[in-house]
Structures are given as C-alpha cells and as structure tokens.
Amino acid sequence: MTSEASMLSELIGDIYDAALDPTLWLRALEHSCIVGGSSAVLYWHDVASESSAALHLFNDDPHYTQLYFEKYMPMNPVFPAATFIESGLIYTPTDIVPEAELRDTRFHKEWVEPQGITDVVCVNLEKATTSSSVLNIRRDGTHGIVDDAVRQRDADRAAFSARGRDRPVVRSAQDGAGGPHRNSRQCRGRHLPAGAERPATG
C-alpha cells in the first residue's frame, strides 16, 4: 500500500470515529486534507427537494460557500448523478461529466476556477433513495488532479463498507452540529443557507 493510500485508510478511521463522537468531525476534515487537499466539506444533498446543507467545513472560503447555497447549487453539473453513486466509492467530477464539458459550465467558470480548485475527491458516506451525505476534499494547484493512487477504489470501498455499516454518519454529524445553521456558526460565524431543511438520513 502506498503512503498516500495508507493515509487515506487512516482518514477513513477518523471519519467513523467522528460518527461515534461528533466533536471529532472538524479534526476528521482537517486530516482529510493530508491525503492531498486544501479544504474539505461534509454536506448533505437531496435531489428530490433540490435542497442541501453544509454539516461541517474545514478551510473553506466563507464567501464562496455562501454563494454555493444561494446561487450555484442548482448549476452543479455532477447532480443528480452523484447522488446515486454507491456509498464508499471514491469519484471525481470528471467521472460524471467529461472534463471539457465541465470546464465550459458556468458553475466551473464562476465558482470553481476563482477558488483555484483543480480537482475534488468525492465520497458518498451515506445515501438514501434521493439523498446522500458527501465528503468533498478539494485540491488546488499544489496538489493537481486526482491520480490512481488517491482513488484506490476497491480497497477504499471495502474499508468504508466494513467500518461504516452500522454507524449513521449523517445523523452523527447533524446531531453534533445541532443542525446546519448551528454548525455553520461554530465553524465560521455565518449562516448557511437561509432556507436549509433538516437532513433526512433515510
């Protein structure tokens, strides 16, 4: 196992430790960036109600986070397809939308590029019929694009499934935060978004 894959395995352990102890979520997100990222966010998205909420954030840009929920969320081209990806399977936006097409979207030009995001490692930690809780680890120019070592698809999927089968990640995150509004105040002293619904874990 490569050093990077080993760190990712430890990260998986951090995530499910946080599922047992919600006070560990911010630490887990910070550690997630060790595998190659500049910021991380755990959020919930429901494609049926077209609603979403940030549960925990690390090193995000408050301005762009606010813009995402207020303006750009409906433009995100990875949805609804990303919601239906199997829990624990690592993917990137270009696994869903061809890179050339992705870069030509308004979402990429106005929200992704200005932040210097070069790629995103994504994982659905939990999913219901129309919703999922998603861990995004954002990479900038110092990390480049996601390569095969980061993915480790089969090994990582097995680890997520084995550790997380009986641990409700979304419920833990949401209980520890007191819901998306309270959590956003704890992280950055701001509210996200004004009309956010309470996540349903299905």
What is the DSSP code string of 115-149? GT--EEEEEEEEE-SSEEEEEEEEE-TTT-S--HH
Mean pLDDT of 53-65: 95
Whether the full predicted model's pTM is greater than 0.85, yes or no, is no
Q: Which of 26-35, 37-46, 113-122 has the lowest mean pLDDT?
A: 26-35
Residue 165 backbone phi and psi in degrees, to 5: -55, -40
- 98-132 burial code (b ≥16 CB/10 A, e <16): eeeebeebebbeebbeebebbbbbbbbbbbbeebb
List strands edge to edge, sheet with 119-127. 51-58, 39-46, 131-139, 119-127
pLDDT for residue 150: 55
Pairing type for strands 119-127 and 39-46 reads unpaired
Could you tell me if 112 and 81 are in contact, meaning their C-beta atoms sit under 8 angstroms apart?
A: no
Cα(97)–Cα(89) distance, integer angstroms: 17
Mean pLDDT of 71-86: 95
Mean pLDDT of 164-175: 50
Residue 167 has pLDDT above 80, yes or no: no
Burial class (CB in 10 A: 0-12, 13-18, 19+), 4: middle
pLDDT for residue 127: 87
Half-sphere exposure for 76 (CA within 13 Å, toward CB): 21
Cα(13)–Cα(7) distance, integer angstroms: 10
Confidence band (pLDDT; 50, 70, 90) for 102?
very high
Residue 142 backbone phi and psi in degrees, to 5: -75, -15
Mean pLDDT of 100-124: 95
- When mean pLDDT is compared over 28-42, 59-73, 126-140, the highest value belongs to 59-73
Residue 173 has pLDDT above 60, yes or no: no
Cα(85)–Cα(201) distance, integer angstroms: 16
The percent of residues in the chain predicted with pLDDT above 90, rounded, is 43
